[in-house]
Amino acid sequence: MSELLVVRDLETQFKVRAGRLHAVNGVSFSLKQGEMLGVVGESGCGKSVTMMSLIRLLPPSASITNGSVMLEGLDLIKANKQQINAVRGSKIGMIFQDPMTSLNPFVKIGIQLSEGLIYHKRMGKREAYDRCAQYLDLVGISNSRHRLEEYPHQLSGGMRQRVMIAMALVCEPKIVIADEPTTALDVTIQAQIVELVKELREKLNASIIWITHDLSLLAGMADRIMVMYAGCIVEEACLRDLYKDPRHPYTIGLLDSIPRIKNDENLRLKSIPGQPPNLMQKPSSCPFASRCAFKTERCERENPSLAFAPGEIEGSSHKIACWVDTRGRQ
């Protein structure tokens, strides 16, 4: 498994009325072929902005101020408009959060699905439609030929999300970014979509980046998880390590705040006190310091960078951005 995508020191800022909002502050990570990477964090921590920065799908007020995104020898940050357009869809596919509004209501499903094929693969319409029908079958939509001729409003929410998934996959991208694809769906459909993505990942050997704020959702499927806070990665570990041995105080807090069904002691649900920091200034101290139970004097002076967790041997993948060794102190 070689590195497919390498992101270095990515920084994205938004121009707002009061100045600059530092949404992403030096994010570095890499993605291997066929790997499923989960990205978790609370609302506004920069997960979506980070991933949208990869293919430069940002609103006009946002700009990428630093960093590089290397995909097959091409730096996507420096790529020109044609180059980035050629990457979108064909090498990196996106699945969006809200299937109800992510399909053009005026255009039949088939046209929207085949758009990428016609543009990237220079397919004829008939050929593209054949391929689209195959993919609709693949994502579990029956009567696919017929569905291609329908408008989005004729499909249910779950079916629309399946169409969105088919749309992201139809050009066979190496990387699929799923931005909270199950948030807008109810729980039973959620489970179906999760199963579908797991299945498709094995069939198509694509790498998947799954953005969510639901840690329990990732438990069943991710290989590796990145926890983000205030535009930084605060912990990165393989699935088992993250759940069994969380090291960053924020991750510990997140895991503690998941409600358990077997809560015999009838305890109150734990939560992390305080509010996430204001990102109008680039954090100069640890952004989590004000909410952290393990805070030391150093935490308020310097912002820790992502490094191997204490006690981990070189080559292990468990990294945290914390000055404190939290082992045995929970």
Partner 1 sequence: MATERKKNAVGEEMQYSLFKDAMHRLAANKLALAGMIVVFLVILIAIIGPLITPYDFLSQDLDYRNKPPSAQHWFGTDDLGRDVFSRVIYGARTAVIVAFSVTILSYLIGIVLGSLAGYLGGKVDAFVVWLIDVFMSIPSLLLVIVINVSIKPVLVNWMDARFLETQNQFYRNTTWVDFAIVFGSLALIKWPKAARIIRGQILSIKNKNYVLAARAIGVPTSKIIKRYIIPNSIGPFIVSISSTLGESMVLESSFSFLGVGVKPPIPSWGNMISDGLRVWQVYPHILAAPALVLAIVTISFSFLGDGLNDALNPRQWK
Residue 17 contacts partner 1 per CB under 8 A: no
Residue 269 is given by DSSP the state: P
Q: Which is nearer to partner 1, 146 or 298 (CB)?
A: 146
Residue 181 contacts partner 1 per CB under 8 A: no
Shortest distance, CB of residue 15 to partner 1, whole angstroms?
Answer: 11
How is residue 225 written in tokens? 């998880």
Q: What part of residues 27-56 is at the interface with partner 1 (CB under 8 A)?
A: 55
Maximum separation of any 2 CA atoms in the chain, in Å: 66
Contact 36, 1 (CB under 8 A): no
Shortest distance, CB of residue 228 to partner 1, whole angstroms?
Answer: 21
For residue 64, the surrounding DSSP H or E stretch is strand 62-71
Residue 212 CA to residue 178 CA, distance in Å, equals 9
Long-range contact list for 99-104, CB < 8 A, 24+ apart? Answer: 99/157, 99/160, 99/161, 99/163, 99/164, 99/184, 99/185, 100/157, 100/160, 100/184, 102/160, 102/164, 103/152, 103/160, 103/163, 103/164, 104/152
Residue 246 contacts partner 1 per CB under 8 A: no
Q: Which is nearer to partner 1, 169 or 225 (CB)?
A: 169
Annotate 67-102 with three-state secondary structure. Answer: EEEEECCEECCCCCHHHHHHHECCCEEEECCCCCCC
Residue 110 CA to residue 280 CA, distance in Å, equals 44
Residue range at the interface with partner 1 (CB under 8 A); choices 35-43, 80-88, 263-271, 320-328: 80-88
Q: Which is nearer to partner 1, 2 or 43 (CB)?
A: 43
Residue 153 CA to residue 130 CA, distance in Å, equals 22
Q: Give the count of residues interacting with partner 1 (CB under 8 A).
A: 40
Residue 15 contacts partner 1 per CB under 8 A: no
Binding mask 100-119 for partner 1 (x = CB under 8 A): -xxxxxxxx-xxx--xx--x
Q: What part of residues 115-174 is at the interface with partner 1 (CB under 8 A)?
A: 115-116, 119-120, 125, 129, 145-146, 148-151, 153, 164, 167-168, 171
One residue of 68, 85, 183, 192 binding partner 1 per CB under 8 A: 85
Q: Which is nearer to partner 1, 109 or 322 (CB)?
A: 109
Q: Which is nearer to partner 1, 98 or 214 (CB)?
A: 98
Give the residues lining the site for partner 1 (CB under 8 A): 55, 57, 85-90, 93-94, 96, 98, 101-108, 110-112, 115-116, 119-120, 125, 129, 145-146, 148-151, 153, 164, 167-168, 171
